[in-house]
Amino acid sequence: MKKHAIIPVFIPHMGCSHNCVFCNQNTITAKTAPGSADDVRGIIEERLPTLSGRGLDTIEIAFFGGSFTGIPLDWQKKYLAVAKEYKDNEQVDKIHISTRPDYINPPILENLKKFGVDIIELGAQSFDDEVLSLSERGHDAYDTETASLLITSYGFSLGIQLMIGLPGDTKEKAITSAKKTVLLKPDIARLYPTVVFEGTRLAEMKKEGSYCPLNENQAVEITKEMYKILDAAGINIIRVGLKSTDLVNPENDLCGNYHPAFRQLVEGAIAREKMEELIWAHGKKEKSFCFTCNKKSFSGMIGHKGCNRDYFEKKYPSLTFMYTADEMLPDRTYKLKSLLSGK
């Protein structure tokens, strides 16, 4: 498996003139914005030594947290010039930025190409215009589609970020967003269930009763279906749920749906679905079975805190299950055999 590391440079709310209902960058970004090229250099120099000797295949400098292409052009250039220096010196492999769909045009892309940017992630959030409007995104689905096609036409790798459970969202709309994402053929994707942060319009809406966040089970179920669609299309899903260490400041209050192991919940739910299909396909004439997968997929097979194991014990009390690892199996492939017949 290829090993990959990111040196994150956070640019909270810089370059973004919008105030989406879910966003409070001062709350959700644990870092302050770099003020100068030297600040960017300092972040890179601090992180690089921690990555040496780890056998990494790829190291990226990634500008996260705001709308990079919305900040003044001279700031973009001075930040990117530092990143390009490390790329030209082969100390890092790629430069990665995130931005809004409506902050992409040919002159912007030409500048990014000049400074060696490799990956552009778009905060699409949804492909439903009603959801985007109610979330006060300031762009529509067409903007995302147009920007995506432009990005890939210039030879950049494309990333799409989607949120689940925004105002006006439904399971059907979320699944449609996943399907429309597939049509754009991104290289990477992120799936974020909506978290309600204090200090946001969404928190006010929740208190007013005009917005009800998804509960954990709902968020897992919808994200699971989106994950399956993206994964089947060969899209690398690089994150599922907010990362506590980089994007969430634990000192701030959170309300709504947040779980530090959300990806494991989703992948565990997918594994459980596949495993139950195996039980029904095998039949229940015999009473003792063994589930097998490789080590990488083992935690998904067991489930977060053993939830899948508990689920099968409670639902099939007359059956006995064991769980083993087999490195010959591909990732997320599960096998079931009878312990008596061996079949």
Please give the C-alpha separations between residue 203 and each of 23, 130, 165, 185, 227, in angstroms, as whole numbers.
10, 19, 14, 34, 27
Give residue 248's pLDDT: 55
Name 161's bridge partners.
123, 190
Alpha-carbon distance 228 to 338, whole Å? Answer: 28
- Identify the CATH number of the domain defined by range 4-260: 3.20.20.70
Q: Over the stretch 137-176, which tens digit does the pLDDT of each residue have?
A: 889 999 999 999 999 999 999 999 999 999 999 999 999 9
Mean pLDDT of the region 238-243 = 90
Q: Over the stretch 14-45, which tens digit does the pLDDT of each residue have?
A: 546 667 777 765 554 444 455 789 999 999 99
pLDDT at 231 over 60: yes
Q: Over the stretch 67-117, which tens digit does the pLDDT of each residue have?
A: 899 888 999 999 999 999 999 999 999 999 999 999 999 999 999 999 999
Domain positions in the chain are 4-260, 274-338
